[in-house]
């Protein structure tokens, strides 16, 4: 059972996806999808989770469901090879979450570092919605309903996978081996683990306005790259520069390949040489930014092109999602049946139970 490789991951539809999502997870998903080295792969739009802190803004979530679907298709996720679905359309996940709630304590949820940070960020103070507080449980249902073994996510999601693992262990220890423990799959490059915003702030976030979106035009990209945060101490070209904490170099770490030098900047043969020159002094920011812009366009142009194609037939995108939801329901439904059998809440398909009760009462 555990030898199967089942990938699963999702994104909240609260905005369009940006290049932080791309290097943190999307790029890897496409590589895995195209390698064929998996048994099943599920990628889903976590609209129900997005509603846990957007309950008064359903229109925003609804609009972004299609944005995220288009982002998925444009990076090259292919519904012929994997299953793409919408969380809320798979009610089995909600049902599973309800049973998992009995396996987790309030204090354990309070200790979840991601939930802690998010609660602080949202200024909920004492008015935390219960659904938001318990979303790690719902996320455990997302994962286990598909018996997922590999979860490609950003670093901030690690505590969620740990929480899911604990739920699996607890469930299996009480009800017998039923669910499968998941493993987190993190990006192997430190720059990709948490790509900073274009202003140098720790994370790309829509509210900070420091994101480069996958759907940005070449003009938008140009503006964003040219106004990127670099090294405040690198005032004159001749000054020695710092590459640490310098966005241009962090983005290069995430995107640059040696072949980009041959193609766009043959004065250097690799990123280390470029960094050495920048550190010594005598290399201007604008030159580095232009190089970065070319690399980002090299990566983003095919994504923009594919998006344009899919945008021409939106009904087909919804149809694809609908089919994905049906596939997902079938898979989650099979697990839910096993779960109910293990939990002894499968009254009507348990012939032994009915027989046993009949015997008991016929003897009275
Ligand atoms: N919490 C994830 C995010 O914010 C989205 C998500 C929901 C998810 N369920 C999941 C990711 C299950 C991986 C597995 O991006």
206 C-alpha to ligand 1 centroid (Å): 17
The predicted-structure confidence for 21-51, as pLDDT tens digits, reads as follows 999 899 999 999 999 999 999 999 999 999 9
Atom 9 (ligand 1): residue with closest C-alpha?
139
Alpha carbons 114 and 156: distance in angstroms, whole number: 6
CA proximity to 242, closest of 284, 278, 198, 205: 278
55 C-alpha to ligand 1 centroid (Å): 18
Alpha carbons 78 and 275: distance in angstroms, whole number: 37
Summary mean pLDDT of the chain: 93
Q: What is the pTM of this model?
A: 0.94
185 C-alpha to ligand 1 centroid (Å): 13
CA proximity to 100, closest of 144, 130, 132, 133: 144
* pLDDT bucket at 334, cuts 50 / 70 / 90: very high
* pLDDT bucket at 193, cuts 50 / 70 / 90: confident
The predicted-structure confidence for 308-323, as pLDDT tens digits, reads as follows 999 999 999 999 999 9
Atom 6 (ligand 1): residue with closest C-alpha?
10
12 C-alpha to ligand 1 centroid (Å): 7
* pLDDT bucket at 205, cuts 50 / 70 / 90: confident
Ligand 1 atom closest to the Cα of residue 46 is 7
Atom 8 (ligand 1): residue with closest C-alpha?
10
354 C-alpha to ligand 1 centroid (Å): 40
* pLDDT bucket at 119, cuts 50 / 70 / 90: confident
Ligand 1 first shell, C-beta below 6 A: 8-12, 46, 49, 139, 142-143, 151, 153, 157
11 C-alpha to ligand 1 centroid (Å): 5
> Does 2 have pLDDT greater than 60?
no
Q: Which tops the pLDDT comparison, 139 or 236?
A: 139
For CA atoms 29, 35, 41, 45, give the dihedral sign. positive
Which residue out of 14, 52, 68, 142 has the highest number of ligand 1 atoms within 8 Å of its CB and is therefore the one to mutate?
142
């Amino acid at each position: 059972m555990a030898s199967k490789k089942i990938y699963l991951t999702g994104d909240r539809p609260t905005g369009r996806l940006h290049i932080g999502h791309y290097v943190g997870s999307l790029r890897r998903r496409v590589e895995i999808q195209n390698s064929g080295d998996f048994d099943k792969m599920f990628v889903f739009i976590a609209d129900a989770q997005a509603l846990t802190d957007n309950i008064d803004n359903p229109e925003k979530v609804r609009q972004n469901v299609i944005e995220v679907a288009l982002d998925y298709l444009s990076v090259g996720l292919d519904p012929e090879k994997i299953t793409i679905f919408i969380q809320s359309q798979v009610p089995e996940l909600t049902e599973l979450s309800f049973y998992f709630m009995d396996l987790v304590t309030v204090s354990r949820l309070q200790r979840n570092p991601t939930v802690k940070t998010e609660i602080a960020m949202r200024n909920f103070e004492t008015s935390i919605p219960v659904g938001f507080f318990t979303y790690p449980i719902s996320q455990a249902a997302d994962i286990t309903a598909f018996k997922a073994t590999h979860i490609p996510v950003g670093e901030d999601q690690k505590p969620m996978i740990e929480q899911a693992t604990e739920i699996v262990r607890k469930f299996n220890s009480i009800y017998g081996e039923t669910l499968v423990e998941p493993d987190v799959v993190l990006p192997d490059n430190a720059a990709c683990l948490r790509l900073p915003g274009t202003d140098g702030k720790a994370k790309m976030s829509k509210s900070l306005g420091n994101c480069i979106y996958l759907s940005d035009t070449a003009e938008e990209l140009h503006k964003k790259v040219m106004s990127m945060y670099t090294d405040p101490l690198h005032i004159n070209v001749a000054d020695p520069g710092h590459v640490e904490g310098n966005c241009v170099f962090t983005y290069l770490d995430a995107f640059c390949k040696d072949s980009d030098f041959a193609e766009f900047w043959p004065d250097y043969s690799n990123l280390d040489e470029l960094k050495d020159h920048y550190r010594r002094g005598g290399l201007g920011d604008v030159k580095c930014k232009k190089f970065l812009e070319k690399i980002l366009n090299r990566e983003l142009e095919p994504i923009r092109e594919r998006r344009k194609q899919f945008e021409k037939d939106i009904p087909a995108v919804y149809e694809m999602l609908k089919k994905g939801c049906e596939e997902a329901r079938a898979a989650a439904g099979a697990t839910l049946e096993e779960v109910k059998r293990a939990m002894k809440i499968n009254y009507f398909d348990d012939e032994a139970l009915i027989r046993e009760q009949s015997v008991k009462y016929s003897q009275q």
